[in-house]
Amino acid sequence: MHPATTLVYSLYSLVAVLILTKLVQVVRDTFFSSLKRVPGPWWSSVTGIPRSLAIVGKRQVHFYHDLHQRYGPFVRIAPDEIIVSDVSAFKEIHRIGTPFVKSDMYKNLRPSEPGTGPMTLFSETTPALHAKRRKLLARGFTQTYLRQNWEPIVQENITRAVLCMKTECAKNGEVDILRWWMFMALDIISILMFGECANALASGKKPAWLESLETTNAIGAIWWHFPLLYKAMKLMPLPAIRKALDSPKEIYAAGRTAVTNSQSSASSKNIFANVLEQAEKDEGGMDDEEIIMEAGSFIVAGTDTTANTMTYLMWAVLSRPELQQALEEEVAHLDEPFSDSGLEDPTVLNAVIKETLRLYGAAPGALPRVAPSPSGYQLERYYIPGGTTVSTQAWTMHRDPALFENPNTFDHTRWLSSEPASQEAKTAFSPFGAGSRVCIGMHLAYMELRLATTIFFKECRGAKLAPSTTPKSMEIENTFLIAPKAGQCRIIIPSSEQ
């Protein structure tokens, strides 16, 4: 037989084997997998592509929520993955000591080239290693420590951000608050992580290294969801592609500042310096690369989250004149100077924050965990085979009518009742995650939200939404974090002379 003919037959045979292998896999997953009892769309036993496309299309939480409305609290979304909105199962999956561990998806959520560099607190999937790092870093994120050491910096940057908003509004007639909340959060978190301010409020723009961080995260998402595309990109000589793939280099260069300040005896330190000074000898510290990775990770986690939450809080309040008046009157009577600890009592303020976190928490997307192998796990009436990805997400639980009356309505009064919420509702309310993986920056986030809400509504009484800010412009887009569809939220602040 001619060699060319032999090659053609070999290729045909290879294709046939691949197709047959896929068919066998489909038959197995459709008819013999233990997950066949879990309800879901027809394609879920064949592929998880629709799930990935929903993420790329920035409709992740809407996609999952719609599936839950159709199929119930347990839904199969891929041959080896389910998503859960059952509160009892959520509690079991995220409890302290759970056998469910983070999936490998998290390994790409760090500021380095996919598959390289040390794990961060957020991306570490091994429970023991995560616990060790969290114990080391937690000292710098306790409520008491933040108030004693960093609250003045937080309050100073919030005050500066509100002044920038008022100045721009006086000049242009309206202002995009999302932009200034973003710069505020960036300046605060850069001081804490790098020991040096990003000066975003002063310059009115993002630093180049933040753009690199955002690009790196996007590349990591492509690596996880579309690995063949990522491999193809690495072969492309296009300058734009090469620049995107080289973005971790800029992060390393910027991250050297964090390393320098963590080792400095000068007053310009960062949170790592304070943490490592207190570290016990038997715990070990962090090497330079680990500090760079953690600093980059915390900056990503502490910027868009705070900015978007504050933006939706203000949109919710300014859309409700009676609520706005009640909040303005409450903060107007607060004695100055006020502190974060003193803001734990005002009722309307904290009710508004909790309701914002319920409906507009910054990270309501899927939290993938992996069922223990080889034993698998029984969740309610379903047996989950070992290695199956089991995801939960706050979006649907926060909108469960069995837990929250009129769940799609922004109603801060639900948090004013003297009667405590049901235990199930308390468990379901998880804007910062749950269990040992609860967000380590939660106390910083609450501090920023309390102080920013108070300062803005005290300094900007009578603010109102600009005509361009509508329910349509504020429609939520979501990959991992939420953001308004328009990418902005414009308001009008009356001048102090009016």
**What pLDDT sits at residue 331?**
96
- Sheet harboring 74-78: ordered strands across? 74-78, 81-84, 389-392, 367-370, 101-102
Give residue-wise pLDDT tens across range 232-269: 888 888 888 888 778 777 777 888 888 888 877 665 58
Cβ-in-10-Å burial (0-12, 13-18, 19+) of 22 comes to: exposed
**What pLDDT sits at residue 66?**
97
CA distance 224 to 464: 42
Q: Say if pTM beats, i.e. exceeds, 0.75.
A: yes
413 pLDDT higher than 80: yes
Give residue-wise pLDDT tens across range 270-304: 888 877 776 654 566 788 888 888 888 888 888 88
> Phi and psi of 116, rounded to 5°?
-130, 170
Least confident of 209-223, 345-359, 374-388, 425-439: 209-223
What b/e readout covers 115-147, taking b as 16+ CB neighbours within 10 angstroms? eebbbbbbbbbebeebeebbebbeebbeeebbb
Q: Of 89-98, 202-211, 225-234, where does the model show the most confidence?
A: 89-98
Q: Where are the alpha helices (DSSP H) in 263-342?
A: 271-278, 288-301, 304-318, 321-332
88 pLDDT higher than 90: yes
Amino acid occupying residue 284:
G
**What pLDDT sits at residue 29?**
53
CA distances from 334 to 159, 329, 340, 450, 452 (A): 16, 9, 12, 13, 14
Least confident of 17-31, 53-67, 135-149: 17-31
User: What percent of the chain lies above the pLDDT cut of 90?
Assistant: 59
> Phi and psi of 377, rounded to 5°?
-155, 145
CATH superfamily of 55-492: Cytochrome P450 (1.10.630.10)
Mean pLDDT (the chain) is 88
| Paired sense of beta strands 81-84 and 367-370, if any | unpaired
Give residue-wise pLDDT tens across range 365-383: 899 999 999 999 999 999 9
